[in-house]
Amino acid sequence: MWVLLSLLTLKFIDPPTTGVHMQRRVESWFAKGKYVKRYQFVPLSRISPAFQHAVIAAEDGNFYKHHGFDWEQIQDAIEDAEAGHPRGASTISQQLIKNLFFTTHGNPIRKAAEFAIVPVAELVLGKKRILELYLNVIEWGPGVFGAEAAAQVHYGTTAARISREQGARLAAVVPAPRRRKPARMDRYSAIILGRMTVLGW
């Protein structure tokens, strides 16, 4: 029940924090150096379409076609794992639920809860709000959360002004945001740009 109420609230109210945000704060208590959180929620209209498209192309090319789970990608991931090449197959909707309610620590219980919540999120929030929340809460570096903070920290601009090339480089960082740097993402950003072209972007 609390999850449903939370999702209904998130349909209209931007989250002040998330499960992953709190995880990083706690981790910072045991790490060297000062932890600074950068997080500014902006509406989807203030995130450039090129930036949005780059993240979708990188993370979930079938975002607008599925209802929370990309079963084709899941089957491909299973086959890849059996061949000794494990990879993820989580959709943007799944990743959003993980970020909002859980942490980055994977376990079967979290996955089961995630599978139960995702269809409800798709129904309650809708695609536009899911994408808006996702782009605003995910990590783009140590203490850097959301598209606006990512644009400011990595490119000294706003999310609304991110170019196609910059968007692809930022999208390339998402799988490992605390280790990867956009400037070093030449190969993967080129792949993402190719995917964008195939998708008509």
Task: For 27-42, write each residue's pLDDT tens digit.
Answer: 999 998 899 999 999 9
Percentage of the residues of the chain whose pLDDT score is greater than 90: 81
- Residue 38, classed as helix, strand or coil, is strand
Answer yes or no: is 11 within a domain. Answer: no
Answer yes or no: is 12 within a domain. Answer: no
Kindly report the pTM of this predicted structure.
Answer: 0.93
Task: For 108-119, write each residue's pLDDT tens digit.
Answer: 888 889 899 999
Task: For 157-170, write each residue's pLDDT tens digit.
Answer: 999 999 999 999 99
Distance (Å, rounded) from C-alpha 68 to C-alpha 162?
27
Cα dist from 148 to 44, 48, 88, 151, 161, whole Å? 11, 10, 26, 5, 10
Residue by residue, what is the 3-state secondary structure of 50-94? HHHHHHHHHHCCCCCCCCCCCHHHHHHHHHHHHCCCCCCCCCHHH
What is the structure's pLDDT at 4?
Answer: 87
Task: For 61-85, write each residue's pLDDT tens digit.
Answer: 999 999 998 888 777 667 655 666 4
Answer yes or no: is 116 within a domain. Answer: yes
Q: Read off the pLDDT of each residue in 50-55 and give the average, rounded to a whole number.
A: 98
Distance (Å, rounded) from C-alpha 173 to C-alpha 88?
15
List the one residue out of 124, 172, 146 whose CA is nearest residue 46: 146
Answer yes or no: is 78 within a domain. Answer: yes
Confidence of residue 93 (pLDDT cuts 50, 70, 90): very high
Answer yes or no: is 13 within a domain. Answer: no
> Which range marks the domain in which residue 61 is found?
2-6+18-198
How many domains does the structure of the chain reveal? 1
What is the structure's pLDDT at 88?
Answer: 62
Give the pair of three-digit tokens for residue 32.
């060297």
What is the structure's pLDDT at 80?
Answer: 56
Q: Are strands 144-145 and 38-39 parallel, antiparallel or unpaired?
A: parallel
Of 106 and 102, which is predicted with more confidence?
Answer: 102
Task: For 166-199, write each residue's pLDDT tens digit.
Answer: 999 999 999 999 999 999 999 999 999 999 999 9
Question: Can you spell out the DSSP letters for 156-188?
Answer: SS-GGG--HHHHHHHHHHTTSTTT--GGG-HHH
What is the structure's pLDDT at 73?
Answer: 76
Percentage of the residues of the chain whose pLDDT score is greater than 70: 93
What is the structure's pLDDT at 111?
Answer: 84
Answer yes or no: is 24 within a domain. Answer: yes
Answer yes or no: is 34 within a domain. Answer: yes
What is the structure's pLDDT at 81?
Answer: 59
Q: Give the mean pLDDT of the chain.
A: 93
Answer yes or no: is 115 within a domain. Answer: yes
Query: Which CATH number do you get for residue 26?
Result: 1.10.3810.10
Choice among 11-15, 81-85, 86-90, 122-126 with the minimum mean pLDDT: 81-85
Distance (Å, rounded) from C-alpha 48 to C-alpha 77?
31
Give the pair of three-digit tokens for residue 58.
């990188």
